[in-house]
Amino acid sequence: MEWDFKGGVPIYSQIIDEMTMRIASVAYEPGEKLPSVRDLAMDAGVNPNTMQKALAELERKGLVFSERTSGRFVTKEEKVLKALHEELARKYFEEFADKLRKIGMSGEDIAGAVKKWLEDIR
Amino acid sequence: MARIEINHVTKQFGSLTALDSVALKLEKGQIVGLLGPNGSGKTTLIKILNGLLQPTAGNVTINGMEPGVGTKRVVAYLPDRNALPDYMTASQLMDIYQDFFEDFDRQKAEAMVDDLGIDRRQAMKKMSKGTKEKLQLCLVMARQAEVYLLDEPIGGVDPATRDYILKTIISNYNEDAVVIISTHLISDVESVLDDVVFLKEGKVVLHQAADEIREEKGESVDKLFREVFKC
Amino acid sequence: MLGKLLKYEIPAMGRKLLPLYAAWAATALFLGLTTQSADSKTEFMVVISALLYTAVATAIFVMTIILIVQRYSNSLLGDEAYFNHVLPVSVSAHIGNKAISATLWVFVTVLVAILTAILIGIGAVIVAGQGFSLREMIHDLLSVEWPEHLGLYIIEVLIMVIASVVKTIMQIYAAVTIGHQAQNHTTLASIGAYIVILIFESMVGRMLLPLFAHTGYCDDGCLNFTMIFIPGVIVSIALSAVYFFICKYLMEKHLNLN
C-alpha cells in the first residue's frame, strides 16, 4: 500500500481519507489490530504527531477503537461499517454526478446511462 | 519553559546582518523545519545554538541553559561540513561517540551503518562525499538526544538514502525531543514536519504548524515557500 | 574527560611523528656506519649521510612545531572544531589536552634525538669491529666521577625545561587564538599576535630582571643555580597561566567559527 500526499490539503485529513478507504475496502479487516503509530508514520513518511492526530479522529468517528494496553483495532461493529460504506458511496456518487452534470446531463440522463453501462459490462 | 528559547538574537559579521532579532520558542515533542534559501541565516542560527558562534545581541537557552557543557550533553548536531577526523574508520568514530556521549546507542549506530552499506573498517577519507554524510548522520541519529540540530541533512544524498534518513528521523522521534531540520529542499521534508519556520534575510517571517498552512492557504508548504521567496 | 581527550590526541600526533622518528633512526645508523669506513673514495658517503641526518632532524623539528600549531588550530578553531566544540567537554580540558599532548611529544622528540646520537655511536663502533657491549657502556658510565648534587641539578634543569616548553606552547596557542579573532587573514594575524606576545615577554623580563639580578650569586661571586632556577620557573608558570586564560576566555566568550 502506497501513501501519496497532495499539496494543498492538510496531511492529517489525507491520512484519515486513506485509512478510511483501507478500512472500507477491508485492506484492514474488521477487528484487525492496526500497526503502531510510529510504524504507520514511518510507512507513510509523516510526522508521528500527525499520524496520532489522524488516528484520534478515526477513533472519534468510531472506525477504530483502542484498548488501553494492546493498541488500536478496526471496529467490528457492522452498523458503523455499513454507515461508512453508505457514506463513501454517497461521496463517490456526488463526485461522479457532478462531472456528468458539468457535461450537461440531467438526473434522468445519468440514471439511464448508468443502467445502460451496467448492462454493457455484464 | 520551552526546550529551546531564542531571545531576540542578532548576529552581525562586520556590516552584514546574518540574523536580525530572531525570537523563537520551540517546545519538545516536535519536528521543526527551519526553512530558507541559502544565506538566510539558518546555519548561523544553528551554530549559535551549538555555542560555535556568539550572538551580537540577545541569547539562546536549551533547557534553560546557555550553550555550554550542560547543553552539549543533550544536543546532537549534524554540521554542514565534515568535522570528523577523516583518517579514522566508521568503527573508530563510533568509539569516540561512545566515549563522549552517554546517550550514544552503539548497536543502533552499527545497524544503521550496515543498513546504508557503509564499510565499518574503511577510513572516512576514502569514502565518497555522500557516504561521509550518511556516516555522520548515523552517528548523530544513534544518540538518544533531547535536541537534534540537523543542518541540511538531505543535501547531498540520493533519493533512496533521503527516504532512509527521513524514516530514521521519524523512528527516532520521541515526545521528549525536539528535532530541527534546516533545509531548502522543502518538498522532501514537508510531510515529516510539525512546525515550519521561514527565515528570510535573517528574520523570521513565518512560524506556523505545517498542516495549518495547508488548511488555511490551501497550498503546500513548498508552494508557499516559493511564493514567499520569489526572486 | 581530559583523559578521554588525551586517549585520542596523543595517538593523533604520534601518527605523524612516529614514521619520521623511524626515518631519523635509520639515517643516524647510516651516518654512524659511514663515518668509520670513510676513506678518500667513500668520503662523499659521509657527506651524504650527514646531510640526510640533518635534513630529517630539521624536518622533525619543523614538523613538531607545525603539528603543535595545526593540531590546535584545526581541532579547536578549524573544521574539526565543529565536532570538538560540541563534545560535552570544557574549554579548559580542550586546551589542557592539546598542551599536555604537545609537551609530551616535544620530549619524545628530544629523547629520540638522544637516541639517534647513541645510534651514530653504535654504528661507528660496529664498523670499527669492536662489537657493541651495553654492559661495557653502562660500566663506563658508572665509573665516571659525577659532581655533587648532580641528581638535584638534573631535576632542576628538567623542571625548568618543561616549564619553558609549556610556556612556549601556550604562547603559540595564545597567538593562534588571538589571530583567529580576525575575520580574515587569520594566519597573518596569528603571526602578528605572536610578535606582540614576544615583545610583551621581553618587557616582562626587563621589568623582573633587576629584582632577581643579585639573587643568582652567592657572596663569593659563584653562581647559585637554584636561585636562578626558582624565579625562572615561577615566571614561566605565571606566563603559561596568562596565555591559558587568554585562550580560555576567547574560546568561551568569543568563539566564532566561520
Give the model confidence (pLDDT) of A19-33 as tens digits.
998 888 888 888 889
- Same structural domain, A55 and A107: no
Q: Where are the domains of chain C?
A: 1-144, 147-258
Q: Which chains touch A (3 or more CB pairs under 8 A)?
A: B
**Domain annotation covers residue A57:** yes
Residue keyed to cell 651495553:
C134
The per-type count for chain C, helices as H runs and strands as E runs, is 8, 0
- Same structural domain, A102 and A53: no
Region B113-131 average pLDDT: 92
- Same structural domain, A68 and A87: no
- Same structural domain, A66 and A20: yes
**Domain annotation covers residue A1:** no
Nearest-neighbour CA in chain C from B24: distance (Å)? 22
Shortest CA distance to C225 belongs to which of C149, C173, C168? C149
- Same structural domain, A15 and A70: yes
Nearest-neighbour CA in chain C from B29: distance (Å)? 22
- How far, in Å, are A96, B92, C175, C194, C205 from residue C199 at the CA level? 89, 44, 12, 9, 10
Which one of A7, A10, A42 has the shortest CB-CB distance to B211? A10
Question: How many CB pairs below 8 A link A and B?
Answer: 58
Residues of B in Cβ contact (< 8 Å) with C184: none
Strand partners, B203: B200
- Same structural domain, A34 and A46: yes
Surface-to-core class of residue C79, CB atoms within 10 Å of its CB (0-12 exposed, 13-18 middle, 19+ buried): middle
Shortest CA distance to B60 belongs to which of B87, B19, B36, B24? B24
Q: What is the ipTM of this complex?
A: 0.91
Cell of B127: 569514502
Residue type, B197: V
- How far, in Å, are A29, B23, B51, C73, C255 from residue B13 at the CA level? 61, 19, 16, 21, 13
A86: domain range?
A: 79-121
pTM over 0.80: yes
**A52 Cβ partners below 8 Å, 6+ apart?**
A37
SS3 track for chain B: CCCEEEEEEEEEECCEEEEEEEEEEECCCEEEEEECCCCCCHHHHHHHHCCCCCCCEEEEEECCECCCHHHHCCEEEECCCCCCCCCCEHHHHHHHHHHHCCCECHHHHHHHHHHCCCCCCCEHHHCCHHHHHHHHHHHHHCECCCEEEEECCCCCCCHHHHHHHHHHHHHHCCCCCEEEEEECCHHHHHHHCCEEEEEECCEEEEEEEHHHHHHHHCCCHHHHHHHHCCC
Residue C114 in 3-state DSSP? helix
- Same structural domain, A20 and A72: yes
Which one of B51, B69, B84 has the shortest CB-CB distance to C83? B84
On whether any CB of chain B is under 8 Å from the CB of C256, the answer is yes
- Same structural domain, A53 and A19: yes
The secondary structure element, H or E, covering residue C186 is: helix C186-212
Give the model confidence (pLDDT) of B80-110 as tens digits.
888 999 899 999 999 999 999 999 999 999 9
Instruction: Give the full edge-to-edge strand order of the sheet including B16-26.
Output: B16-26, B4-13, B57-62
- How far, in Å, are A15, B59, C195 from residue B6 at the CA level? 33, 6, 40
Residue C202 in 3-state DSSP? helix
**How many structural domains are present in chain A?**
2
**Domain annotation covers residue A5:** no
Nearest CA in chain B to C76: B52
Interchain contact, B30 vs A11, CB within 8 Å? no
Each of the 258 residues of chain C gets a pLDDT tens digit; together they read 899 999 999 999 999 999 999 999 999 888 888 876 656 667 788 888 889 999 999 999 999 999 999 999 999 999 999 999 999 999 999 999 999 999 999 999 999 999 998 888 877 777 666 666 667 777 777 777 777 777 888 888 889 999 999 999 999 999 999 999 887 888 899 999 999 999 999 998 888 877 766 665 566 656 666 667 788 888 899 999 999 999 999 999 888 887
Nearest CA in chain A to B218: A8
